[in-house]
Each structure stands twice: as C-alpha cells, then as structure tokens.
C-alpha cells in the first residue's frame, strides 16, 4: 500500500493516523517532492477509475493561472485528457490528496475515514 500525501494537509495526516492506529504497513510518497510522472498519474487514474479532472484541485493558484475552469481550453473528455495529465505532472500541487493505492491493484481517494478503511480492506 502506498499513500500519496502532502504533510501540510489535515486529511493526509488523518489518513496516516488511521493507518498507524490499525497497524497497516504502507509507504509514504510526498508527491510534491517526489513528483509523479505522467505515466504514474495515468496508472493511478486507471486504479482509481477516474479522469485527471476528477482529481484536480481547481481552487489552487496554479489552476487559476492555467485557467482550468475554461472548458474550451481544457476539455473534460478524451481530447483533453493528456493535457490534464501533463498539467498535474507539471504542477503536482493540483493533485487531490491523499491517494491510497491498495494491495488489490485499486486505489481510493482517502479523504474520509470510510475511504481509508475501504483501502485497508482491499
């Protein structure tokens, strides 16, 4: 199990605390320092069953600078998918967190206790 975190994020800290309380073995990836490649982002999206715009923090300054809410420049379909992935790789702060990759090959957005427990059960 691997968990992508930003140590400054309260939801990440809560997820780590729950994993520790339950004695789960996991690897921490501080994705702002160890930035995922476009291929790694594609792989985690496949595991999540989501698209890049689904895991994008659109309120971040970088999102506003890139104007990610402009659906003409940033279409949310197959034609825009690679541009979104490249944007996440270039600006990792845009990636929603925490992301937990489960032992069964799936992944979850660990933003709630239920989601973290779901990842632990896989």
pLDDT tens-place string over residues 31-87: 999 999 999 999 999 999 999 999 999 999 999 999 999 999 999 999 999 999 999
Place of tokens 């632990």: 120
Alpha helix (H) residue ranges in the chain: 10-21, 38-48, 61-66, 81-90, 113-121
Q: Would you call 9 a catalytic residue per the annotation?
A: yes
**Residue ranges covered by each domain of the chain:** 2-121
pLDDT tens-place string over residues 104-120: 999 999 999 999 999 99
Share of the chain above pLDDT 70, in %: 100
The top-level CATH class assigned to 2-121 is alpha beta
pTM over 0.85: yes
Average pLDDT over residues 90-97: 97
Helix 81-90 crosses helix 38-48 at what angle (to 10 degrees)?
A: 120
- Give the Cα separation of 1 and 28 in Å (integer): 9
**Which one from 9, 24, 32, 43 is the annotated catalytic residue?**
9
Q: What are phi and psi of 74, to 5 degrees?
A: -125, 70
The strand ranges marked E within the chain are: 2-5, 27-30, 99-101, 107-109
């Amino acid at each position: 199990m691997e968990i992508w975190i930003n140590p400054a994020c309260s939801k990440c800290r809560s997820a780590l605390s729950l994993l520790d309380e339950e004695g789960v073995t996991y690897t921490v990836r501080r994705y702002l320092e160890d930035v995922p490649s476009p291929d790694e982002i594609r792989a985690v999206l496949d595991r999540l069953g989501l698209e890049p715009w689904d895991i994008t923090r659109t309120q971040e300054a970088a999102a506003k600078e890139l104007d990610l809410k402009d659906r003409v420049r940033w279409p949310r379909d197959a034609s825009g998918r690679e541009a979104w992935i490249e944007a996440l790789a270039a600006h990792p702060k845009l990636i929603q967190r925490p992301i937990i990759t489960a032992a069964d090959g799936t992944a979850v957005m660990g933003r709630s206790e239920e989601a973290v427990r779901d990842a632990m059960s896989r």
